């Protein structure tokens, strides 16, 4: 038994090593087609990338007759810098950069610009006018989480569970929260107790769980709602609530559209999971890359709007709309084939939601 398992693990390893190779991804391995697109991933360590972003991107490029070369930086800025170099050396026509660390990525951007290669900043913003920022509207995601949660729980004590400190995404999301809750705080409807807004090391669910337990202890369970910045951490928060018998009573919001989270929405322990269809983003990036192969002017890409970066640089962006999944529109997730009915309805008592028989 254990030997079989080891063999399986080794097979898995081989697959990973193959996928890490410089010519993974596209099926033409770079020789065929006029348009050669390079994709530098920050990390494959999250559910979405291999499952959604990459297939979307691949499909769009394949449809346009382009080839793809991609590599993974495993969240290391240094690795990514050399990965981008390798892509540029491979003679790509368009660079899609999913930055591991936006500041260090600027050098890579410069190198691409020097080589006359148009750049798409994929899902993570770069402080450069030369990169076309393509993302779901993250501020909008934050807004949607807060809107759904405040609708379910318009008053009371709010806890805010943020992601890793020092990254930009937690800031965008927090800004979206702020737009919704600031007036309510001002009106005295909502309070964030001292110490109830925390960052979470590495976005880890178990760290979020520890933090939530401590917040509950500090406030004698007097917390009515939690804004979590992703679904993994929302899961940790809900586990902490469950240990106090408060799951389902406290309104919790998150994002990513994790299957487990949408199941929790159906169960009623989570109010909302804002879903960013990463396949859609991958597809959009693929289509934009095809256009950039024809015409390297980023402002000419379909859907590009003028936008300002966090650092105040004027540039262009393509912003896709996220989709909040609540108990009212679970069917939307099913329609996207995001998850199966079985996955949606695991443990859900029949008759509590329409989608679950």
Partner 1 sequence: MTTQAEPIEAPLAGEPRGEPVRTSLLSTLGVDVRLVGMVVALAVLWIAFNFLSDGRFLTPRNLWNLSVQSAAVAVMTTGMVLIIVSRNIDLSIGSILGFTAMIVGLLQAEWIPDLLGLPLNAPGTWIVVVILGILVGAVIGGLQGFVIAFIGVPSFVVTLGGLLIWRGAAFALASGRTIAPLDPTYQLLGGGPQGSLGATLSWVVAGIAIVAFAIGLVLNRRRRRRYGFPVRPVWADVTIGIIGSLLVAVAVWIANAYPWPPNLAEEYAIENGIPIPPGGLIIPTGIAYPVLIAIGIAVLMTFIAKRRRFGRYVYSIGGNPEAAILAGINTRRTIMKTFILMGALSSIAAVIITARLNASTLALGTGAELQVIAAAVIGGTSLAGGIGTIAGGVLGAVIMQSLSTGMTLIGVDNAQQDMVAGVVLIVAVGFDSWLRRRRV
Chain contacts with partner 1 (rule: CB under 8 A): 1-2, 5-6, 9, 12-13, 15-16, 44-51, 74, 165-166, 194-195, 198-206, 209-211, 213-215, 217-218, 221, 231-232, 235-236, 239, 242-246, 249, 258-261, 263-264, 346-347
Task: State the nearest-atom distance from the C-beta of 249 to partner 1, in Å.
Answer: 7
Nearer to partner 1, 111 or 199 (CB): 199
CB of 211 to partner 1, least distance (A): 6
Within 8 A by CB and 6+ apart from 172, the residues are 138, 139, 141, 142
Answer yes or no: are the C-beta atoms of 323 and 277 closer than 8 Å: yes
Instruction: Quote the least distance from Cβ 108 to partner 1, whole Å.
Output: 22
The nearer residue to partner 1, 76 or 307, going by C-beta atoms, is 76
Nearer to partner 1, 56 or 205 (CB): 205
Q: Least separation, in Å, of the C-beta of 119 and partner 1? A: 26
CB-wise, 248 or 296, nearer to partner 1? 248
Q: Of 109 and 196, which CB lies nearer to partner 1 in the complex structure?
A: 196
Report how far residue 27's alpha carbon sits from residue 37's, in angstroms, rounded to the nearest whole number.
12
CB of 257 to partner 1, least distance (A): 11
Q: How far is the CB of 88 from partner 1 (least distance, A)?
A: 25
For partner 1, give the closer residue by CB, 9 or 63. Answer: 9
């Amino acid at each position: 038994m254990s030997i079989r398992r080891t063999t399986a693990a080794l097979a898995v390893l081989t697959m990973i090593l193959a996928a890490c190779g410089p010519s993974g991804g596209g099926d033409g391995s770079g020789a065929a087609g006029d348009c050669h697109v390079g994709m530098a991933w920050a990390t494959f360590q999250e559910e979405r990338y291999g499952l959604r972003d990459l297939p979307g991107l691949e499909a769009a490029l394949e449809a346009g007759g382009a080839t793809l070369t991609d590599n993974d930086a495993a969240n290391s800025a240094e690795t990514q810098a050399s990965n981008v170099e390798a892509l540029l050396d491979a003679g790509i026509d368009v660079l899609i950069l999913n930055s591991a660390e936006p500041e260090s990525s600027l050098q890579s951007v410069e190198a691409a610009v020097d080589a006359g290669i148009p750049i798409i900043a994929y899902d993570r913003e770069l402080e450069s006018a030369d990169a076309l920022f393509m993302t779901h509207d993250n501020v909008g995601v934050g807004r949607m989480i807060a809107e759904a949660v405040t609708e379910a729980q318009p008053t009371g004590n709010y806890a805010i569970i943020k992601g890793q400190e020092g990254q930009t995404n937690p800031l965008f999301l927090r800004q979206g929260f702020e737009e919704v809750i600031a007036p309510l705080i001002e009106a005295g409807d909502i309070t964030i107790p001292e110490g109830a807004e925390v960052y979470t090391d590495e976005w880890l669910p178990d760290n979020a769980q520890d933090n939530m337990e401590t917040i509950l202890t500090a406030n004698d369970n007097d917390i009515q709602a939690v804004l979590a910045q992703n679904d993994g951490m929302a899961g940790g928060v809900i586990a902490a609530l469950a240990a106090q018998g408060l799951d389902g009573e406290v309104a919790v919001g998150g994002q990513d559209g994790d299957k487990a989270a949408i199941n929790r929405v159906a169960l009623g322990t989570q109010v909302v999971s804002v879903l960013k269809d990463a396949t859609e983003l991958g597809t959009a990036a693929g289509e934009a890359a095809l256009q950039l192969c024809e015409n390297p002017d980023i402002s000419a890409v379909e859907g590009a709007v003028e936008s300002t970066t966090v650092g105040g640089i004027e540039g262009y962006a393509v912003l896709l709309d996220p989709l909040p999944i609540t108990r009212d529109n679970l069917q939307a997730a099913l329609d996207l084939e995001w998850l199966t009915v079985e996955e949606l309805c695991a443990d859900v008592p029949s008759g509590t939601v329409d989608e679950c028989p």
